[in-house]
Amino acid sequence: MKPIRLPFLNAGLLLAGLLLAGLLLPGLLLAGGVQAAAADHVHASDAWIRVLPGALPAGAYVTLHNDSAQPVALTGATSTAYAEVMLHHSSTAGGMSRMSMVDTLTVPAHGEAVLAPAGYHLMLMKAKNPVKPGDTVTLTLKFSDGSTLATDFAARPANAIDAGEPHAGH
Amino acid sequence: MKPRYLLCLPLLLLLAMGALLGGCRSEPLPLRLTNISGHMPDLDFKLTDDNGKAVTGANYRGKVVLLYFGYTHCPDVCPLTLAQLHVVMQRLGPLADDARILFVSVDPARDTPAVMHAYVNAFDKRAVGLVGSARAVEALSKRYRSAFTREPGDADGNYEVSHSSAIYIFDRDGKARLLATPSASQDDLVHDLHLLLDTGATP
Ligand SMILES: [Cu+2]
């Protein structure tokens, strides 16, 4: 099946079309700019932070769901509560535990990526104010397509194992 | 033949009951984790606990000890391991009061007894933080064929320490008995610790 070639689609018209698009496109992007930043194709669940005593760095965990047909990559996060947030990966090889910085974590199309203890995590450093278990901390997750996702993380005690029950309180 | 056999039966029963009640010391315990009995040296070290007190391995005789190396600036694997050990201790109930988690810092530069005190107590009241000179910690680490390496730091002076993830378990006599990894099943840990805590209780 060969595509039907329309006689009126000549080079001149194509050029005019491109020019028109060139004029309109920046305006369209600008208009959509505010909303385009919010990732509506990714949503988060089981977001929590393991709070450690004093000024020790904390690990943040979350499950990301990609509802779109395109893979998207988490590149990091920012927070008003912590001066530094880094995307890390813990691994155990040959009986040794180590942690390394990673640039991106891909959330596959119609799939999910899990940040969980002993694997991927966001390392939170230099809390501006002490974070206590029971607090909620908002982290703005950043994706490779420029979109962001503001996500509320539940601050949990040091000896928590996971995100816990949604409404569990002590 | 028959009368003699009948005569023996009560004796056999008595012996069997004795073995069950007394806990047959010569029989190997049906442990599930990696058994290192006889392959690793007894618990021994000279370090400082999280109250600033000088301690040695002898201070923990009579307790079942879970020895783990880590550091407080480790936000992921160390807390996960300690949190899992806390769950295991909870599951052991009052028996766990006879067990101690010894968390040995591989980061002597940053981990002071005070930092360690706040840290271990955030996990379990039966956890003890141990610090020492780089040399003392290295000696203990080498003793159990464990290792740690300080990784190069960033501009702010932050650095990570790669370290062995093993958990060494000692019986009440300070004998090395088991090796567990952080991914070991909690059921197996509870099962084996139960056996070690049940047996060899020094009166
Ligand atoms: Cu990390």
- How far apart are alpha carbons B113 and A72 in whole angstroms? 44
CATH code of the domain containing B122:
3.40.30.10
Average pLDDT along chain B:
88
Nearest CA in chain B to A52: B119
- Residue B141, in any domain of the structure: yes
The whole-number pLDDT of residue B14 equals 44
The whole-angstrom distance between A155's CA and the closest CA on chain B is 14
- Spatial neighbors of A38 by CB under 8 A, at least 6 apart, are A147, A148, A149, A150
- Residue B16, in any domain of the structure: no
- Spatial neighbors of B131 by CB under 8 A, at least 6 apart, are B47, B48, B50, B104, B105, B108, B111, B112, B113, B116, B137
- How far apart are alpha carbons B50 and B119 in whole angstroms? 9
Share of chain A above pLDDT 90, in %: 66
Query: Whole domain around residue B52: which residue ranges?
Result: 31-197
User: What is this structure's pTM?
Assistant: 0.80
Put simply, the answer to whether A99 touches B76 (Cβ < 8 Å) is yes
Distance B87 CA to ligand 1 centre (A): 23
Partners of residue B75 in chain A, C-beta under 8 Å: 50, 52, 56-59, 121, 123-124
Quick check: B65 and B43 in contact, CB under 8 A? yes
- The tens digit of pLDDT for each residue in A80-102 reads 999 999 999 999 888 889 888 99
Distance B8 CA to ligand 1 centre (A): 66
Quick check: B111 and B77 in contact, CB under 8 A? no
Residue B5 has pLDDT above 60, yes or no: no
Put simply, the answer to whether A158 touches B122 (Cβ < 8 Å) is yes
Ligand-binding annotation for B24, yes or no, is no
Displacement of CA A68 from its chain's centroid (Å): 14
The whole-number pLDDT of residue B155 equals 83
Put simply, the answer to whether A52 touches B147 (Cβ < 8 Å) is no
| Least confidently predicted of A9-18, A104-113, A122-131, B35-44 | A9-18
* Region of residue B63 (phi > 0: left; psi between -120 and 50: alpha; otherwise: beta): beta
The whole-number pLDDT of residue B158 equals 87
Instruction: Select the residue from B34, B36, B73, B80 to test the A interface by mutation, using most A Cβ atoms within 10 A.
Output: B80
- How far apart are alpha carbons B61 and B49 in whole angstroms? 15
Give the pLDDT mean for B123-140: 96
Each domain of chain A, given as residue ranges in start order, spans: 9-37, 42-156
Put simply, the answer to whether A56 touches B73 (Cβ < 8 Å) is yes
The whole-number pLDDT of residue A20 equals 46
| Least confidently predicted of A89-93, A135-139, B96-100, B104-108 | A89-93
DSSP symbols for chain B: -HHHHHHHHHHHHHHHHHHHHHT-SSSPP---SEE-TTTSPPP--EEEETTS-EEEGGGGTTSEEEEEEE-TT--SHHHHHHHHHHHHHHHHGGGGGGEEEEEEES-TTT--HHHHHHHHHTT-TTEEEEE--HHHHHHHHHHTT--EEEPPP-TTS---EEEE--EEEE-TTS-EEEEE-TTS-HHHHHHHHHHHHHSS---
Give the pLDDT mean for A117-146: 96
Instruction: Select the residue from A49, A56, A87, A100 to test the B interface by mutation, using most B Cβ atoms within 10 A.
Output: A56
Q: How confident is the model at residue A138 (pLDDT cuts 50, 70, 90)?
A: very high
Report the complex ipTM: 0.80
The whole-number pLDDT of residue A144 equals 95
Partners of residue A132 in chain B, C-beta under 8 Å: none
Q: How confident is the model at residue B141 (pLDDT cuts 50, 70, 90)?
A: very high
- The tens digit of pLDDT for each residue in B20-53 reads 444 445 568 899 999 999 999 999 999 999 999 9
| Least confidently predicted of B120-129, B142-151, B153-162 | B153-162
Residue A107 has pLDDT above 70, yes or no: yes
Put simply, the answer to whether A95 touches B77 (Cβ < 8 Å) is no
Give the pLDDT mean for B165-187: 95
Ligand-binding annotation for B191, yes or no, is no
Residue B2 has pLDDT above 60, yes or no: no
Q: How confident is the model at residue B200 (pLDDT cuts 50, 70, 90)?
A: low
Number of domains in chain B: 1
| Least confidently predicted of A119-128, A154-163, B1-10, B108-117 | B1-10
- Residue B23, in any domain of the structure: no
- Residue B77, in any domain of the structure: yes
Partners of residue B122 in chain A, C-beta under 8 Å: 52-53, 157-159
Q: How confident is the model at residue A16 (pLDDT cuts 50, 70, 90)?
A: very low
- CA count, 13 A, side-chain hemisphere, A129: 7
Is the domain covering A42-156 a CATH 2.60.40.1890 domain? yes
Ligand-binding annotation for B74, yes or no, is yes
Residue A14 has pLDDT above 60, yes or no: no
Give the pLDDT mean for A143-156: 97
Cα–Cα separations (whole angstroms), residue B64 to A18, B31, B154, B176: 77, 15, 39, 10
